Structure 1
Amino acid sequence: MNVIALEVGGAHIKGCVLGPDGVLRERERWFTRPERGPDAVLETVLESAATLAHRGRAVAAGIVVPGVVDDTAGSAVLAGALGWRGMPVRDWVAEHLDMPVAFGHDVRAGGLAEARLGAGRASRNFLFVSIGTGIAAAWMLDGQVVPGSRGGGGELGHLVVRPGGALCHCGGRGCLETVASSAALAHRYSRLTKWRGVGAGELYHRADSGDAVARAVCAEAMEVLAATLATVVTLYAPELLVIGGELGSAGGGRLAPLRDALARRLTFQAMPEVLPAAFGDRSGCMGAALLAQDLQREAAAA
């Protein structure tokens, strides 16, 4: 029996249909457009879920979102990138689809997918780091996510790296996301070159093709990311860093500057292996599908 999954991000809503054999049947993507307001984003999520459920003849769904989430209650406590506060996402999607719905955090779900089926499946202790529109991390131990309290934890993108810097959507200033997220890179490149509409993927390509401005923008982001990850490595000593999101999708070669910058900062700490996520920027969506499969199996066994 098929399940559907949605990963709701600040730029896109990624969807997929997963068969009982673990093979992806369909992939889809919609623009989130959060500037329309939180209710409009929710409406797009409901419409997208209904479209997938109909096409995929699904019996269960999984949906994952960014920010602070309450997995038990099925609500988005605070998803600043979407404008959601206290949004009972799971119940509304379940009512709209008339099927059971699993709910969770996008990056923790991505870590689960990489632990079960992806780049971290042979590792006991690794950190999954998603670098895209937002930046967050999930600490995986023995194949399980180590959760924070009250739906939080892992919000790497909201560590302050530029005190008094640019205003972040979380309300703080100088957060890592204002410097090293995909949106931050695109904004800085646009400001320096007057080019508009150049996304992170194209920016990485331009950097690799010799664009001096793109190289400088990417290099600055890699240095700040490395400094932040050096703190994480000091605290948790992971044997592996799995990089997802748009940076992870840019290819293993794109991670070389990050590896080098991180290695320069470590002294007594063991240098972890740094690998791209097996599912690229769809780790969260795959994780949502696995959550839906788990929910379906639990229901069948009850």
Structure 2
Amino acid sequence: MPQNGALTESKKRIISLLRQRGSLTKKELSQRSGLGWATVVKAMRELMDEKLVISKGTNLSRTHAKGKNAYVYALNPQTPLIVGIDVEHTLTTLLLTGLEGSVFLQKQLPTPQGNGERMIDFLTGCIEESLDRFHRDPKDLAGIGIGLPGLTFPTTPWRANLEKAKRVEQTLAQHFHTKVRVDTNTNAYALYARWNLPQFQERDFLFVSIRTGIGTAIFSNGNLFRGESSLSGGVGHMKVVPAGSVCHCGGKGCLETVVNQNILLRQYREKVIGLPLSPEAFSDRQLVSQELQDLFQKALDGNPAAQRILKRAGTYLGKAFVNAISLLGIEHILISGYFGEEAAPLIEPIQATVRKALLRREDIPITYVPFDPLGHTQGAVMLILSEYLSDPLR
């Protein structure tokens, strides 16, 4: 691992290329990166000293101009390791990965209920068990990234909330002697989308996650804007129904009280297929995903009840988005949910509401991308991994 902290941009560019291409010669690295030969040679020497890059020997198909076989280099598949953890209210997912992208371990455990100290003990045990299983030492870790729902403590004031999250970060960093980054699951997934979705190449955008709540993240100039509270972008708690229902945040009429995946699922059961819905169904992720996809497909097929449900939801989302667009000057919105491959019945009423309310009367580009099942956990990995990579959009 780097001895002086942050990697240089040259090293990040080389690591990014090796991660994309698998293995390259120094000549190929120089050609593809735009770095000079001397810069590549120096950076490669240091990366090998830091055990981030290894030589795979010579390759007969790759030769120097003088006819000598060229050495081929690749990222070290054994070290460093990155732990990514996505903590949901009921389920926690952990990935143990390598710098080059290999997944050594994936496991899921029930999330414990209780105070911050219990969460710290739980996370510590998960990480220790994972390292022991592969006979690895904490010194092999590049870092630990953790995504928490609303920073895990949604019923407390934001300052206490942030302090508890920082205590998780500091305690684990001291215990494992490695860097630890703690953020919201929404910010983690937005980071994953920013770095891993080839169909979405924007540096300034609002990311909206529609799960059991409405999570939002703001990207400005390619970087996450977190604000002092680390809870910036709270579109889910903008008031869209003046005399609406009480939200879990204590307010009334918040966007989350009228739009989330559980509300869509309940309305689908009641108004489209006429079947009862047990409370246990909400915790069955596969069932929720399948029935939400059915709702959107029925709307695409012209089912009036399904179309009304999504038009209503889209209108409420549009009202909240108008505020964010007007205040922040946002030019792009990225939405993710468990809705299948096509979300036009939701996107179109959002567009109509936004177009009608904005002074400029223009459409704001809105991109929908289905959730990647491991995207939140891969996003937790990206909290660490992004410090090793060159920004693909710079």
Does TM, scored on the shorter chain, surpass 0.5? Answer: yes
1:14-53 pair list within 5 angstroms? 14-32=93-111, 36-38=113-115, 43-53=121-131
Q: Judging changes above 3 Å, is the alpha-carbon distance between structure 1 residues 259 and 215 closer, same or farther for their aligned structure 2 residues? A: closer
Check whether the contact 1:234–1:269 (CA below 8 A) recurs between aligned residues. Answer: no
Check whether the contact 2:172–2:180 (CA below 8 A) recurs between aligned residues. Answer: yes
Segments of 5+ residues of structure 1 without an aligned counterpart are 70-75, 298-302
Equivalent in the alignment of 1:238? 330
Q: Judging changes above 3 Å, is the alpha-carbon distance between structure 1 residues 209 and 108 closer, same or farther for their aligned structure 2 residues? A: closer
Q: Judging changes above 3 Å, is the alpha-carbon distance between structure 1 residues 6 and 237 closer, same or farther for their aligned structure 2 residues? A: same
User: In the alignment, does 2:269 pair up with 1:194?
Assistant: no
Q: Judging changes above 3 Å, is the alpha-carbon distance between structure 1 residues 209 and 106 closer, same or farther for their aligned structure 2 residues? A: closer
How many residues are aligned here? 282
C-alpha distance in 2, partners of 1:51/1:270? Answer: 53
> Deviation digits for residues 99-118 of structure 1, max 9, x if unmatched?
43222232223222222232
Letter in 2 for 1:63: I
Check whether the contact 1:119–1:242 (CA below 8 A) recurs between aligned residues. Answer: no
1:146-161 pair list within 5 angstroms? 146-161=225-240
Check whether the contact 1:112–1:143 (CA below 8 A) recurs between aligned residues. Answer: no
Task: Give the superposition deviation at 1:171.
Answer: 1.6
C-alpha distance in 2, partners of 1:121/1:250? Answer: 18
Q: Secondary structure at the match of 1:202?
A: helix
Q: Judging changes above 3 Å, is the alpha-carbon distance between structure 1 residues 28 and 230 closer, same or farther for their aligned structure 2 residues? A: farther
Counterpart pick for 1:62 among 145, 153, 164: 145
C-alpha distance in 1, partners of 2:125/2:308? Answer: 40
Counterpart pick for 1:79 among 154, 161, 177: 154
Check whether the contact 1:8–1:66 (CA below 8 A) recurs between aligned residues. Answer: yes
Check whether the contact 2:341–2:370 (CA below 8 A) recurs between aligned residues. Answer: no
Mean CA deviation greater in 273-282 or 14-23: 273-282
1:185-224 pair list within 5 angstroms? 185-187=264-266, 193-196=275-278, 197-199=280-282, 200-208=288-296, 210=298, 216-224=308-316
Mean CA deviation greater in 138-147 or 183-192: 183-192
> Deviation digits for residues 136-171 of structure 1, max 9, x if unmatched?
222212211123223331111111222332222212
Equivalent in the alignment of 1:262? 350
- What's the % identity of the aligned pairs? 22
C-alpha distance in 2, partners of 1:63/1:118? Answer: 21
Instruction: Compute the TM-score of the two structures, normalised by the length of structure 1.
Output: 0.76
**Taking CA–CA contacts closer than 8 Å with sequence separation of 6 or more, which of the two structures ends up with the larger relative contact order?**
1
Counterpart pick for 2:195 among 116, 138, 142: 116
C-alpha distance in 1, partners of 2:92/2:386? Answer: 22
Letter in 1 for 2:333: L
User: In the alignment, does 2:214 pair up with 1:135?
Assistant: yes
Equivalent in the alignment of 2:59? none
Segments of 5+ residues of structure 2 without an aligned counterpart are 1-79, 283-287, 390-394
C-alpha distance in 2, partners of 1:183/1:52? Answer: 33
Q: Judging changes above 3 Å, is the alpha-carbon distance between structure 1 residues 217 and 263 closer, same or farther for their aligned structure 2 residues? A: closer
> Deviation digits for residues 197-254 of structure 1, max 9, x if unmatched?
444313313314548766654443233223222332333343322223xx1x43330x
Q: Secondary structure at the match of 1:79?
A: coil
> Deviation digits for residues 260-282 of structure 1, max 9, x if unmatched?
11221214244233223476354
Task: Give the superposition deviation at 1:20.
Answer: 0.7
Q: Secondary structure at the match of 1:149?
A: coil
Which structure carries more strand by proportion? 1
